[in-house]
Amino acid sequence: MRNLDIATLRSLQAVAEYGAVTRAAESLNMTQSALSMQIKRLDDLFGEAMLQKQGRGVVLTDFATELLIEARKLVALNDAILSRFTGQRPEARLRVGLTSDWLFTKVAQAVRAFRQANPRIELIINDGRSKDLRQQMKRGEHDVILTTEFETPPGAIHLSKVDLAWFGAVGGTAWTQRPLPLANSPHCAYYPVGLTALDRAGIEWVQAVADGGSDTWRVSAAADLGITILPRGIAQAGLEPVDHGGALPPLPPTWLNVYVADGPARREAAEFAGYLRRAVCEVAAMAA
């Protein structure tokens, strides 16, 4: 019988969040060689590589990305069991909603940093579309949310402005096709903005594949079946901003906003918003 080692899964999770083995090891108070050995144990256990190089860092392979979804659940369950049966109880609970486009490395690091600074606060993280997160907050389901919008409505805390860009497969040619194949969900807030830009430029377009979740669209774009729209500064495996030389129309910027709900967790939510601000500002600076 083979058993999964929680420590190896926690290491995989850290690498996904930090995008570098060295920084991930530091966050876990480990040496780089020790963390590399744990990743190697996962490679051997599943017979699949966990990491692949990208630029100066590393990203998870497709197999590891799928594994990470289940690994997070197992790590969280491990922590919950230890907390319950060792008598440690959280002092507060903070419910966080993050728009899917911004579940990236820096925000993951912000979540980790907040948790390390506030170990007795239980974090519940959910992701969703910005419009859904706002509705959920109105129903009292979140204490703090991070959204992408094209304005800063009343009650929102503006964090940063980030440019949108056309993204396609690394070295892909889908952007040269006419009609232009689009790999964005009609439910995405960026979809109507992209269509308006294309229509104004007189570029004929077509929906690349059937509707699906954000992962479906990004996989389609990474497979060079179409192009998609994302904020600059977000590293996505297999995707890169399209260097179209003016062949595609410019896109408007998107606004990164935070909403903090009134309630018993307002103080913790405001502190968490500060961590998000630093993360978002770093990403915006990198994308500028």
- On whether residue 55 sits in a domain, the answer given is yes
139 exposure class (CB count in 10 Å sphere: 0-12, 13-18, 19+)? exposed
In b/e form, how buried is each residue of 212-236, taking b as 16+ CB within 10 angstroms? eebeebbbbbbebbbbbbbbbbbbb
Whichever domain contains 76, its CATH number is: 1.10.10.10
Give percent of the chain with pLDDT exceeding 70: 90
Alpha helices in the chain (DSSP H): 6-18, 21-27, 32-46, 62-85, 105-117, 130-138, 190-201, 214-222, 266-287
- On whether residue 177 sits in a domain, the answer given is yes
pLDDT at 128: 84
pLDDT at 84: 75
Is 70 exceeded by the pLDDT of residue 286? no
Q: How far apart are CA 117 and CA 45, in angstroms?
A: 34
Predicted confidence (pLDDT) per residue in 157-214, tens digit: 888 888 899 999 999 999 999 999 999 888 788 889 999 999 999 999 999 876 655 6
24 band by pLDDT with thresholds 50, 70 and 90? confident
Whichever domain contains 182, its CATH number is: 3.40.190.10
Report which of 234, 245, 244 is spatially closest to residue 287, judged by C-alpha positions. Answer: 234
- On whether residue 109 sits in a domain, the answer given is no
Domain boundary among 59, 74, 89: 89
- On whether residue 261 sits in a domain, the answer given is no
3-state secondary structure of 178: coil
Number of domains in the chain: 2
Q: In which domain, by residue range, is 220 found?
A: 162-254
Same domain, 83 and 1: yes
Q: Which residue has the higher pLDDT, 200 or 124?
A: 200
- On whether residue 102 sits in a domain, the answer given is no
- On whether residue 62 sits in a domain, the answer given is yes
Q: How far apart are CA 22 and CA 4, in angstroms?
A: 23
Predicted confidence (pLDDT) per residue in 103-123, tens digit: 566 788 888 888 888 877 888
Q: How far apart are CA 31 and CA 33, in angstroms?
A: 5
Q: Report the DSSP pairing between strands 228-231 and 157-169.
A: antiparallel
User: Does the pTM exceed 0.85?
Assistant: no
Residues 6+ away with beta carbon under 8 Å from 213 = 185
Same domain, 3 and 85: yes
Q: How far apart are CA 252 and CA 37, in angstroms?
A: 45
- On whether residue 127 sits in a domain, the answer given is no
- On whether residue 57 sits in a domain, the answer given is yes
For tokens 């892909």, what's the residue? Answer: 172
Is 70 exceeded by the pLDDT of residue 90? no
Domain boundary among 25, 54, 89: 89
Dihedral angle sign, alpha carbons of residues 22, 8, 39, 48: negative
Domain boundary among 89, 120, 143: 89
